[in-house]
Amino acid sequence: MKQSPEAVRLDMTLRSSALVAGGFMGDDPRSVSEVMDADAGALSRLGVTAGEVAARMREITDKAATAESTWVEIDANREAVVNDTRGSLPCPWPHEAWFLKRVTTLRRKDTGKTVRWSELNIHMIAAHGFFEGKGSLFRTEPADLVEILF
C-alpha cells in the first residue's frame, strides 16, 4: 500500500536519531503504521486498550515520583523507581508536546521481571498507540508490558 506523504515523513522522523539515540524504530523493517497495527492487534488479544495501559503507567509513575531515585512500593507485587535525567524531549509527531526525560522502572516482586518507560512512552502509547519499533532503546512488547503492569 502506498503511504501518504505525511506517513512517509513521520516514518523518517521516527527512524532518525535526531531526538533519541538510535531513533524510535530501532532496526524494525516494518513501516510505522504496520508496527502500530500489529501492537493494536496484540493489545486487543490481551483484552486491554492502549488508554488503559497508559493510564496504569501514569498511575505508577506518579506514585513512584513521590520519592525520586528510590524504590517505592506500588502494591503487594510491584515496586517502581523514577530516575530523572533532567531535560525534556518533544513528541516526534507533528504537534507541540514536550515531556520530561525521567524514566520509570517497574519490577514485579513475584517474577522479578522489569519494564521501563519514559514520559514520552506514556504519551506515545496514549495518544498515538505507538510502542516504538523492535530494537529501539525503549521498545517494550505490549504483552510483556501488560503482564507486568496488571
User: Of 26-34, 64-72, 124-132, 134-142, which segment contacts Zn ion by CB under 5 A?
Assistant: 124-132
CA-nearest of 150, 138, 142, 133 to 26 is 133
Check binding of 55 to Zn ion (CB under 5 A). no
Binding window for Zn ion (CB under 5 A); candidates: 30-38, 42-50, 59-67, 97-105: 97-105
The 3-class secondary structure across 19-84, one letter per residue, is CCCCCCCCCCCCCHHHHHHHHHHHHHHHCCCHHHHHHHHHHHHHHHCCCCCCCEEEECCEEEEEEC
Residue among 74 and 124 whose Cβ is closer to Zn ion? 124
Member of 30, 91, 108, 114 binding Zn ion (CB under 5 A) = 91
For Zn ion, the binding residue among 30, 58, 65, 93 (CB under 5 A) is: 93
Residue ranges binding Zn ion (CB under 5 A): 91, 93, 97, 127
